[in-house]
Amino acid sequence: MRIFVADHPLVAHKLTALRDERTDSPTFRQLADELVTLLAYEATRDVRTEPFTVRTPVAEATGVKLATPKPLVVPILRAGLGMLEGMMRLLPTAEVGFLGMVRDENTLTASTYAQRLPDDLSGRQCYVLDPMLATGGTLGAAANFLIERGADHITAICLLAAPEGVARLEQDLADTSVPVTVVTAAMDERLNEKGYIVPGLGDAGDRLYGVV
Protein backbone atom coordinates (compact mmCIF):
# COMPACT_ATOMS: atom_id res chain seq x y z
CA MET A 1 0.00 0.00 0.00
CA ARG A 2 1.20 3.48 -0.84
CA ILE A 3 0.26 6.64 1.01
CA PHE A 4 0.56 10.03 -0.64
CA VAL A 5 0.18 13.18 1.44
CA ALA A 6 -0.57 16.12 -0.86
CA ASP A 7 1.88 18.87 -0.06
CA HIS A 8 0.42 22.08 -1.47
CA PRO A 9 -0.36 25.43 0.14
CA LEU A 10 -3.94 25.45 -1.18
CA VAL A 11 -4.55 22.00 0.26
CA ALA A 12 -3.21 23.15 3.63
CA HIS A 13 -5.29 26.35 3.50
CA LYS A 14 -8.56 24.60 2.71
CA LEU A 15 -7.91 21.85 5.24
CA THR A 16 -7.26 24.43 7.96
CA ALA A 17 -10.62 26.08 7.24
CA LEU A 18 -12.33 22.66 7.26
CA ARG A 19 -10.86 21.87 10.67
CA ASP A 20 -12.14 25.13 12.17
CA GLU A 21 -15.11 24.33 14.43
CA ARG A 22 -16.71 27.66 13.44
CA THR A 23 -17.02 26.62 9.78
CA ASP A 24 -20.71 26.08 9.03
CA SER A 25 -22.13 23.26 6.90
CA PRO A 26 -22.54 25.17 3.61
CA THR A 27 -18.95 26.42 3.81
CA PHE A 28 -17.73 23.00 4.91
CA ARG A 29 -19.38 21.37 1.87
CA GLN A 30 -17.87 23.95 -0.48
CA LEU A 31 -14.37 23.57 0.99
CA ALA A 32 -14.56 19.76 0.97
CA ASP A 33 -15.61 19.91 -2.68
CA GLU A 34 -12.66 22.13 -3.61
CA LEU A 35 -10.19 20.11 -1.55
CA VAL A 36 -11.29 16.85 -3.18
CA THR A 37 -10.70 18.32 -6.63
CA LEU A 38 -7.14 19.19 -5.62
CA LEU A 39 -6.62 15.69 -4.19
CA ALA A 40 -8.24 14.14 -7.27
CA TYR A 41 -5.59 15.76 -9.44
CA GLU A 42 -2.91 13.83 -7.52
CA ALA A 43 -5.02 10.67 -7.23
CA THR A 44 -5.50 10.40 -10.99
CA ARG A 45 -1.84 10.61 -11.89
CA ASP A 46 -1.88 6.97 -12.95
CA VAL A 47 -5.36 6.87 -14.48
CA ARG A 48 -5.14 4.66 -17.56
CA THR A 49 -5.14 6.33 -20.95
CA GLU A 50 -4.74 5.17 -24.53
CA PRO A 51 -3.18 6.99 -27.47
CA PHE A 52 -5.57 9.19 -29.41
CA THR A 53 -4.86 11.31 -32.46
CA VAL A 54 -6.70 14.57 -33.07
CA ARG A 55 -6.58 17.05 -35.88
CA THR A 56 -5.87 20.60 -34.70
CA PRO A 57 -6.66 23.52 -37.03
CA VAL A 58 -3.00 23.25 -38.06
CA ALA A 59 -1.95 19.60 -38.08
CA GLU A 60 -2.41 16.18 -36.51
CA ALA A 61 -1.45 15.83 -32.85
CA THR A 62 -0.94 12.68 -30.86
CA GLY A 63 -2.65 12.80 -27.49
CA VAL A 64 -4.49 10.47 -25.15
CA LYS A 65 -8.00 9.66 -24.05
CA LEU A 66 -9.18 7.79 -20.97
CA ALA A 67 -8.92 4.04 -21.50
CA THR A 68 -11.83 1.63 -21.26
CA PRO A 69 -13.27 0.23 -19.11
CA LYS A 70 -14.07 3.58 -17.58
CA PRO A 71 -12.80 4.33 -14.08
CA LEU A 72 -15.30 3.71 -11.31
CA VAL A 73 -15.77 6.25 -8.53
CA VAL A 74 -17.10 4.76 -5.31
CA PRO A 75 -18.24 7.15 -2.57
CA ILE A 76 -18.74 5.44 0.76
CA LEU A 77 -22.07 6.54 2.18
CA ARG A 78 -22.81 8.80 3.91
CA ALA A 79 -19.85 11.18 4.18
CA GLY A 80 -18.20 10.08 0.93
CA LEU A 81 -21.13 11.64 -0.95
CA GLY A 82 -19.78 15.06 0.01
CA MET A 83 -16.69 14.22 -2.07
CA LEU A 84 -18.43 13.04 -5.23
CA GLU A 85 -18.87 16.32 -7.12
CA GLY A 86 -15.29 17.38 -6.46
CA MET A 87 -14.07 14.10 -7.94
CA MET A 88 -16.44 14.03 -10.93
CA ARG A 89 -15.31 17.51 -11.91
CA LEU A 90 -12.00 15.94 -12.98
CA LEU A 91 -13.36 12.59 -14.19
CA PRO A 92 -16.74 13.50 -15.68
CA THR A 93 -16.97 10.35 -17.79
CA ALA A 94 -16.30 7.95 -14.91
CA GLU A 95 -19.08 5.70 -13.67
CA VAL A 96 -20.25 5.90 -10.08
CA GLY A 97 -20.98 2.97 -7.77
CA PHE A 98 -22.23 3.32 -4.22
CA LEU A 99 -21.18 1.50 -1.11
CA GLY A 100 -22.98 2.00 2.18
CA MET A 101 -20.83 1.07 5.14
CA VAL A 102 -21.55 1.70 8.77
CA ARG A 103 -19.21 1.59 11.72
CA ASP A 104 -20.40 0.11 14.99
CA GLU A 105 -19.43 2.84 17.48
CA ASN A 106 -18.69 0.27 20.21
CA THR A 107 -16.78 -2.42 18.35
CA LEU A 108 -15.54 0.03 15.64
CA THR A 109 -16.05 -2.73 13.02
CA ALA A 110 -17.48 -1.88 9.59
CA SER A 111 -20.25 -3.70 7.75
CA THR A 112 -21.94 -3.20 4.35
CA TYR A 113 -25.60 -2.13 4.50
CA ALA A 114 -26.10 -1.12 0.85
CA GLN A 115 -24.27 -1.43 -2.43
CA ARG A 116 -24.90 -0.53 -6.04
CA LEU A 117 -21.85 -1.68 -7.94
CA PRO A 118 -21.21 -3.74 -11.07
CA ASP A 119 -20.82 -7.46 -10.20
CA ASP A 120 -17.71 -7.67 -12.36
CA LEU A 121 -15.03 -5.08 -11.76
CA SER A 122 -12.34 -6.88 -13.76
CA GLY A 123 -9.81 -4.45 -15.13
CA ARG A 124 -11.47 -1.47 -13.45
CA GLN A 125 -9.58 1.30 -11.73
CA CYS A 126 -11.60 2.26 -8.66
CA TYR A 127 -11.47 5.58 -6.82
CA VAL A 128 -12.90 5.21 -3.34
CA LEU A 129 -14.09 8.36 -1.58
CA ASP A 130 -14.00 8.24 2.22
CA PRO A 131 -13.19 11.47 4.06
CA MET A 132 -11.70 10.06 7.24
CA LEU A 133 -9.17 7.20 7.36
CA ALA A 134 -9.59 6.71 11.10
CA THR A 135 -9.56 3.10 12.36
CA GLY A 136 -9.15 1.87 8.78
CA GLY A 137 -11.93 -0.72 9.19
CA THR A 138 -14.31 0.86 6.68
CA LEU A 139 -11.74 1.48 3.98
CA GLY A 140 -10.20 -1.98 4.41
CA ALA A 141 -13.60 -3.64 4.08
CA ALA A 142 -14.49 -1.47 1.07
CA ALA A 143 -11.19 -2.20 -0.70
CA ASN A 144 -11.51 -5.94 -0.13
CA PHE A 145 -15.12 -5.83 -1.36
CA LEU A 146 -13.96 -4.22 -4.63
CA ILE A 147 -10.98 -6.57 -4.98
CA GLU A 148 -13.27 -9.61 -4.56
CA ARG A 149 -15.27 -8.32 -7.54
CA GLY A 150 -12.16 -8.03 -9.68
CA ALA A 151 -10.93 -4.44 -9.24
CA ASP A 152 -7.25 -4.42 -10.14
CA HIS A 153 -6.26 -0.91 -9.06
CA ILE A 154 -7.64 1.04 -6.10
CA THR A 155 -7.00 4.62 -5.08
CA ALA A 156 -8.68 6.00 -1.97
CA ILE A 157 -9.08 9.72 -1.49
CA CYS A 158 -9.34 10.74 2.15
CA LEU A 159 -9.40 14.28 3.51
CA LEU A 160 -7.52 13.13 6.59
CA ALA A 161 -5.71 10.00 7.76
CA ALA A 162 -4.50 8.68 11.11
CA PRO A 163 -1.44 6.43 11.53
CA GLU A 164 -3.61 3.75 13.21
CA GLY A 165 -5.86 3.62 10.15
CA VAL A 166 -2.94 3.29 7.76
CA ALA A 167 -1.48 0.44 9.86
CA ARG A 168 -4.85 -1.38 9.95
CA LEU A 169 -5.32 -0.92 6.21
CA GLU A 170 -1.88 -2.37 5.56
CA GLN A 171 -2.84 -5.39 7.68
CA ASP A 172 -6.23 -5.83 5.99
CA LEU A 173 -4.66 -5.68 2.54
CA ALA A 174 -1.63 -7.80 3.35
CA ASP A 175 -2.87 -10.73 1.22
CA THR A 176 -3.67 -8.82 -1.94
CA SER A 177 -1.40 -8.07 -4.88
CA VAL A 178 -3.78 -5.33 -6.08
CA PRO A 179 -2.06 -1.94 -5.82
CA VAL A 180 -3.82 0.32 -3.31
CA THR A 181 -2.90 3.98 -2.89
CA VAL A 182 -4.27 6.42 -0.32
CA VAL A 183 -4.16 10.10 -1.24
CA THR A 184 -4.82 12.44 1.67
CA ALA A 185 -4.48 16.10 2.63
CA ALA A 186 -2.72 15.31 5.93
CA MET A 187 -1.58 12.57 8.24
CA ASP A 188 -2.81 13.56 11.70
CA GLU A 189 -1.43 12.58 15.12
CA ARG A 190 -3.62 9.78 16.41
CA LEU A 191 -7.10 8.54 17.25
CA ASN A 192 -8.82 9.34 20.52
CA GLU A 193 -10.67 6.78 22.66
CA LYS A 194 -13.83 7.29 20.57
CA GLY A 195 -12.04 6.59 17.30
CA TYR A 196 -11.99 10.24 16.21
CA ILE A 197 -8.93 11.61 14.46
CA VAL A 198 -6.92 14.10 16.57
CA PRO A 199 -6.81 16.99 15.86
CA GLY A 200 -9.02 16.01 12.90
CA LEU A 201 -12.14 17.94 11.99
CA GLY A 202 -14.81 16.17 13.99
CA ASP A 203 -17.51 13.99 12.44
CA ALA A 204 -17.24 14.58 8.69
CA GLY A 205 -20.78 13.28 7.97
CA ASP A 206 -22.34 15.51 10.61
CA ARG A 207 -20.40 18.54 9.47
CA LEU A 208 -21.43 17.97 5.86
CA TYR A 209 -25.05 17.02 6.43
CA GLY A 210 -25.97 17.77 10.04
CA VAL A 211 -26.56 15.45 12.99
CA VAL A 212 -29.31 13.15 11.64
| Residues annotated catalytic, as ranges | 103, 107, 203, 206
Select 4 or 196, whichever has its Cβ closest to ligand URA.
196
Select 75 or 205, whichever has its Cβ closest to ligand URA.
205
Site string for ligand URA, 110-149 (x = CB under 6 A): ----------------------x-x---------------
Q: Do the beta carbons of residue 133 and residue 157 sit within 8 Å?
A: no
Beta strands 153-161 and 132-133 are parallel
Closest by CA position to 74, among listed 43, 41, 44, 97: 97
Ligand-binding annotation for 205, yes or no, is no
Expressed in percent and rounded to 5, the helix, strand and coil fractions of the chain are 30, 30, 35
- Count of residues in contact with ligand URA, rule CB under 6 A: 9
Select 95 or 203, whichever has its Cβ closest to ligand URA.
203
Ligand-binding annotation for 197, yes or no, is yes
Q: Looking at residues 167 to 196 of the shown chain, list those that interact with ligand URA (rule: CB under 6 A).
A: 195-196
Ligand-binding annotation for 78, yes or no, is yes
What is the secondary structure of 146-189 as a DSSP string? HHHTT--EEEEEEEEE-HHHHHHHHHHTTT--S-EEEEEEEE-S
Q: Which of 16, 48, 203, 209 binds ligand URA (CB under 6 A)?
A: 203
Q: Do the beta carbons of residue 204 and residue 132 sit within 8 Å?
A: yes
Ligand-binding annotation for 130, yes or no, is yes
What's the maximum distance between 2 C-alpha atoms anywhere in the chain?
65
Which residues are part of a known binding site? Answer: 78, 103, 130-138, 197, 202-204
Residues that bind ligand URA (CB under 6 A): 132, 134, 195-197, 200, 203-205
